[in-house]
């Protein structure tokens, strides 16, 4: 751990757009490399990075597509840089290929997905939360995902820093699953003094003796393996194929099992340290709303409205949708008679919520490309209480 990087935004209060706050968070976390492709509604992140990164000695480069952007990030990450990109649904789809590369080669990468409405090109300028399952299951093969979901400009700033810390610690791609509302909204941003911002530095592999060909470079018995950085004489083969402890490709069943378990295990085994959530009015709640991102702002309004009308409502806001905070949801589900999942999609995070709940769970499908209306959430809560 060390404190935040010089060249960052001055401590104090700022009035700022979510997308800008994200870039400032990244700079304070030590990010100095951005590779991206413009896409609505994330483009302000790239634009601000293009202004700010050269000022702090970094690079913000534009690639030919999102496939190349994510590949460049993995390359720069092995070059030793803290790296990030920002995108939205169509770009997220294109990045899936090399998210898998970052995962299997254990490259720290931060990806900000400013979610927009609809499948395919959908409605680029309107809000959605339809990529939540893609974040977990989008890249092929087993992937264990870490994702943050900010509900405010302040959180967009803070979660970007935390995403870097998690990426560096776990050596894995980490997503900030924002959405169009949080990204385009202007709010107060309070930047703490640099020494109060904790920044994680990555564990780096020491150079190897030339002749030592049999050395274990990846010790899968450990959760956190030092990263071989290019140009330091590590002489490690970094492979997108399933590989053994020397980094060499293998079809051996034992190594396949070991490597795959290591990649998932280092996240699952430390899930409790990653989880972040917020509970509101849950002490006496008989019905609770589970929500995240900008939808949680509506959910909070709905909970307050329901309470005013005599319904004992509460809110569980998931700040880290992945790894899924199953124990947290289960605990809440034992206290209430029903859960309402409020999200701006046709029903995604409702599935792991239902899987881990001991009470009935209902969704509020919502896909007009607008912020979910509190009225719809209140109706769902009232139906739960009535049944």
Partner 1 sequence: MISPQVPHGGPEVRVPHHINDPVIRSERLPNIWCPGCGIGIVVGAYVRALQKSAIPRERQISISGIGCTGRVSGYLNLDSYHTTHGRAIAFATGMAVARPELEITVIAGDGDLGVIGGNHLIHAARRNVDINVIMVNNFNYGMTGGQHGGTTPLGARTHTSPYGNVETPFNIPYLVAAAGASFVSRWTAMHVRQLTAAFSRMMEVKGFAFMEVLSPCPPTFGEFNGFPEALDMMKYFRDKAVVDHNADLSKIAVTARPDDSVVVGNFVDRKRPSYQELLGDLRARVQAQGVAKK
| Distance (Å, whole) CA 161 – CA 22 | 8
Contact map string, positions 197 to 236, toward partner 1, x by CB under 8 A: ----------x--x--xx-------------x-xxxxxxx
User: Quick one: 216 or 241, whose CB is closer to partner 1?
Assistant: 241
- Give the list of residues 6+ apart from residue 238 with CB closer than 8 angstroms, or none: 78, 105, 228, 247
Under the binding rule (CB under 8 A), the answer on residue 91 touching partner 1 is: no
In 3-state terms, what secondary structure has residue 32?
coil
- 248 touches partner 1 by CB under 8 A: yes
Residues in the chain: 387
Does the footprint of partner 1 cover residue 110 (CB under 8 A)? no
120 touches partner 1 (CB under 8 A) = no
What is the C-alpha separation between 94 and 106, in angstroms, rounded?
19
Nearest CA to 313 out of 383, 233, 211 is that of 383
CA pair distance 140, 339, nearest whole angstrom: 31
- Report the residue number, 9 or 290, with the smaller CB distance to partner 1: 9
Query: Closest separation between CB of residue 74 and partner 1, Å?
Result: 6
Residues 359-378 that bind partner 1 (CB under 8 A): none
Task: Identify the helix (H) or strand (E) that includes residue 189.
Answer: strand 186-191
Shortest distance (Å) from residue 247 CB to partner 1: 9
State the pairing for strand pair 109-117/146-148. Answer: unpaired
The residue within the footprint of partner 1, chosen from 91, 100, 138, 374 (CB under 8 A), is 100
Query: For 283, phi and psi rounded to 5 degrees?
Result: -55, -45
Our CB check for partner 1 shows the closer of 249 and 368 to be: 249
Residue (127 or 153) nearer to partner 1, CB = 153
75 lies in the binding site for partner 1 (CB under 8 A): yes
CB of 364 to partner 1, least distance (A): 39
User: Exposed, middle or buried: residue 88 (CB in 10 Å: 0-12, 13-18, 19+)?
Assistant: buried
What are the residues binding partner 1 (CB under 8 A)? 7, 9-10, 33, 35, 51, 54-59, 61, 63-65, 67-69, 71-81, 83, 97-98, 100-101, 105, 207, 210, 213-214, 228, 230-241, 248-249
């Amino acid at each position: 751990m060390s404190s935040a990087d010089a060249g960052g935004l001055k401590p104090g209060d700022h009035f700022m757009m979510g997308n800008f706050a994200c870039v400032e968070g990244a700079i304070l976390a030590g990010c100095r490399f951005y590779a991206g492709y413009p896409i609505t509604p994330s483009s302000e992140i790239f634009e601000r990075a293009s202004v700010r990164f050269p000022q702090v000695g970094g690079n913000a480069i534009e690639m030919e597509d999102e496939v190349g952007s994510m590949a460049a990030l993995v390359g720069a990450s092995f070059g030793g840089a803290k790296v990030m990109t920002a995108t939205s649904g169509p770009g997220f789809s294109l990045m899936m290929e090399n998210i898998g590369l970052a995962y299997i080669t254990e490259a720290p990468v931060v990806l900000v997905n400013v979610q927009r409405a609809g499948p395919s090109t959908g409605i680029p300028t309107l809000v959605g939360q339809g990529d939540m399952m893609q974040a977990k299951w989008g890249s092929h093969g087993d992937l264990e995902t870490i994702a943050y979901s900010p509900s405010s400009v302040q959180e967009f700033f803070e979660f970007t820093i935390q995403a870097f810390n998690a990426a560096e610690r776990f050596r894995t791609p980490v997503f900030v699953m924002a959405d169009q509302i949080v990204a385009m909204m202007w709010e107060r941003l309070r930047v703490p003094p640099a020494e109060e911002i904790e920044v994680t530095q990555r564990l780096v592999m020491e150079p190897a003796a030339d002749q030592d060909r049999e050395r274990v470079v990846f010790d899968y018995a450990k959760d956190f393996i030092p990263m071989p950085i290019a140009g330091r004489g590590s002489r490690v083969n970094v492979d997108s194929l399933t590989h053994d402890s020397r980094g060499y490709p293998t079809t051996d069943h034992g190594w396949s099992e070991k490597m795959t378990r290591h990649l998932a295990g280092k996240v699952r085994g430390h899930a409790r340290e990653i989880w972040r959530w917020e509970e509101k009015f849950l002490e006496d709640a008989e019905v609770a709303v589970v929500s995240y991102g900008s939808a949680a702002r509506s959910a909070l309004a709905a909970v307050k409205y329901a309470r005013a009308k005599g319904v004992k409502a509460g809110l569980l806001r998931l700040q880290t949708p992945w790894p899924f905070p199953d124990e947290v949801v289960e605990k809440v589900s034992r206290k209430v008679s029903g859960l309402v999942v409020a999200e701006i999609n046709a029903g995604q995070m409702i599935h792991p919520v239902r899987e881990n709940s001991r009470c009935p769970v209902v969704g509020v499908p919502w896909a007009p490309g607008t912020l979910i209306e509190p009225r719809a959430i209140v109706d769902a809560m009232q139906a739960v209480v009535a049944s």
